[in-house]
Amino acid sequence: MRICWFLLAALPALAQNAGQVAYSENCAICHGAAGEGGSGPDLTSAAWQASMTDADLEAVIERGRPGTAMPGFAGRVNPKELISHLRALGRTAIRPTTDLQTPPISVSNEQLLRAGGERSQWLHYGRDYTNQRFSPLNQVHRGNVTRLAPLWSFQTGTPDGLQASPLVVNGVIYMTASWNYVFAIDARTGAELWRYRKRLPEKLKYCCGPVNRGVAIHGGTLYMATLDARLVALDARTGRVKWDVEVGRVEENHSCTGPPLVVGDRVIVGMAGGDYATRGFIDAYDAGSGKRLWRFWTIPGPGEKGNDTWSGDSWKTGGGATWMNGSYDPEFNLIYWGIGNPYPDYDGDVRTGDNLYTNCVVALDPETGALRWHYQFTPWDVWDYDGVNEMVLVDLKIGGRERKALVHADRNGHFFAVDRGTGEFLYAKPFVRVNWAKGFDAKGRPIVNPDALTNYEGVEVCPGAAGGKEWNAMAYSPLTRLVYVPVIENCAIFSNYGAEAKKKGLPPGPSGFRYLPNQAYGKVTAVHADTGEIAWEVRTRTPMGSGMLATGGGLVFTGDAEGNFTAFDDRNGKLLWSYQTGSGIRAAPITFELDGRQYVAIASGMAGAIRGYTGPGAPWMQNYRSGGTLYVFALFEPGASTRFHGGAKR
């Protein structure tokens, strides 16, 4: 009898024990002895524990996470015992010095409208609706930037690089990584608060890497557009999914990689896939429910104005993706969005006409999606010049007159200014070698050089398809009235083996382009916003594929493909400071102030190509092809130590 009582009392402890043994034998090697994380994620944080039900845990333990290092243990362990041990680990975990509680988060429409004045936040991809990427912060300035030192770094442990521009809200950094990870990180310490990863289907269709460029926020909700063309709403405090709705379909060649734009109570989302047979669009969703409110097709259908700029049925699959982000002007109540290249990219004979609205900026009513005006950077594009690069809203002084304008550095090699109320063309100036256009007429239509049209033999065209400038964001400083542009200087050989081959009775093949070896390089170029003239430029060894940040401290921050995070004097391009981050940089820097201290952050982690320049043919790239680390810098203060947060939390 006595023995029986003893056994009964000990049963839960035994179960716990069995779970503990199973854990030490099977899991500790990756998740740490106390579940604190190692090569596998931390299994102890309160937010994480709360976000996983027992059923979730059981499913992961049984089946693992296909495509990751997490093996399945079906039949090898007793999941119930393990779960009881995992719960115990959650209760007894040693907490980092921060309590790892995300502060309450609620970003109002008012705050989103005034994001430019929020010193401690970074609320939009381009900081505010103008997309200027200018912060007034000036604690770090030309005179002391040499004291800028890393305060902490955060390893995502995710593959395929980082391209995001993070948000900062109430002391929390929200950053995405490739494969639709989202990380919430304590901005003061680098401690991980939570992480989310979208379960993606096996079949995906994306042209240019499984990348993601950031989330948007509204109220207490984060929005991410995903590789499988869905829009996911996450609770900003816990990372828990609120809803997950369809934007497009993988079967129709859709994916999403760009950051959404929140305007009022609407989440505006673009899509990728224009290098395949598809028809592009921009969507708006209700921020609360995820219901789709409108869709703007980037290629007009039959009977609609502009449909006649496409020969035959080519409009149906004419591309026109919308894979980057938009800007918004509350005064005109218009959103501005760049539209991508027509499809097929290089074989224009099958889609003769201007191909509206590809390679355009469109101005849309955010309430209805109605088109107010458009301007086309490259009519009938046969060089994949795209047109998606960001629109930066700036009030210009032209001929003694103020013009409410937008400026845009296009892949086609020209820096444009367009009236953002009416769409009127103001100027276009080349900022790299250009031979496809001989100039612009008074209405802003490029005068195309017929010798640059793609043919069967191959023709050398400048810029090559990489631009000009890639999607990486430029910055504008109202202090200097200069726009800081990450530039790719290059030419390429373009060929048309489609219709051209047919005409000549030659064997057809995929049309395309090839780079000229060892000829591409980069520049950090400062352009006078009012005139489009170049103020100064600094040559970089590698094509520039990182975004820009301009600050009130007279600094321009950017990164390069070799991993250097750099600060230039905004007046003359003098290099004032640099830090080697250990992997190439493709993301964009941000800055914010907390507790009276200015922080500067950059995500480092190179994978995927700067349009072909990062392959084996580009030797400088080979050592910079992995990893993902967010670095946060502040001025070094002798004697001050960085805050310990209990190890690399995952």
Q: Under the rule (CB under 6 A), what is the footprint of ligand HEC?
A: 26-27, 29-31, 39-41, 43, 48, 57, 60-61, 65, 68-71, 73, 77, 82, 197
Q: How far is CA 491 from the centre of its chain?
A: 26
Q: Which amino acid is at 497?
A: Y
Whether the CB-CB separation of 158 and 178 falls below 8 Å is answered with yes
Alpha-carbon distance of 222 to 239, in angstroms, equals 9
Q: How far is CA 332 from the centre of its chain?
A: 26
Closest Cα partner for 475 from 555, 584, 360? Answer: 555
Q: Which amino acid is at 383?
A: W
Write down the H helix ranges in 313-411.
none
Closest Cα partner for 571 from 487, 481, 473? Answer: 481
Instruction: Please confirm, yes or no, whether 42 is among the known catalytic residues.
Output: no
DSSP 516: P
Closest to ligand HEC by CB, 62 or 308: 62
Closest to ligand HEC by CB, 122 or 196: 196
Q: What Rg, from alpha-carbon coordinates, does the chain have? A: 26
The contacts of residue 504 (CB under 8 Å, 6+ apart) are 456
Return the structure tokens found at 309: 């700029």
Closest to ligand HEC by CB, 60 or 448: 60
**Active site residue: 384, 386, 410, 530, which one?**
384
Question: Could you tell me the smallest distance in angstroms from the CB atom of residue 523 to ligand HEC?
Answer: 38
Return the structure tokens found at 167: 């948000």
Q: How far is CA 101 from the centre of its chain?
A: 26
DSSP 364: E
3-state secondary structure of 96: coil
Question: Could you tell me the smallest distance in angstroms from the CB atom of residue 249 to ligand HEC?
Answer: 24
Write down the H helix ranges in 338-431.
none
Whether the CB-CB separation of 47 and 193 falls below 8 Å is answered with yes
DSSP 83: H
Number of residues that this document lists for the chain = 650
Closest Cα partner for 524 from 562, 559, 563? Answer: 559
Whether the CB-CB separation of 464 and 543 falls below 8 Å is answered with no
Return the structure tokens found at 518: 């060892």
Dihedral of the alpha carbons of 204, 208, 210, 212, in degrees to the nearest 10: -120
Please, what is the end-to-end C-alpha distance for the chain in angstroms? Answer: 48
Whether the CB-CB separation of 167 and 214 falls below 8 Å is answered with yes
Identify the residue whose tokens are 């690069």: 389
Pairing of strands 534-540, 521-528: antiparallel
Return the structure tokens found at 393: 């809203």
Closest to ligand HEC by CB, 26 or 352: 26
Catalytic (active-site) positions? 384
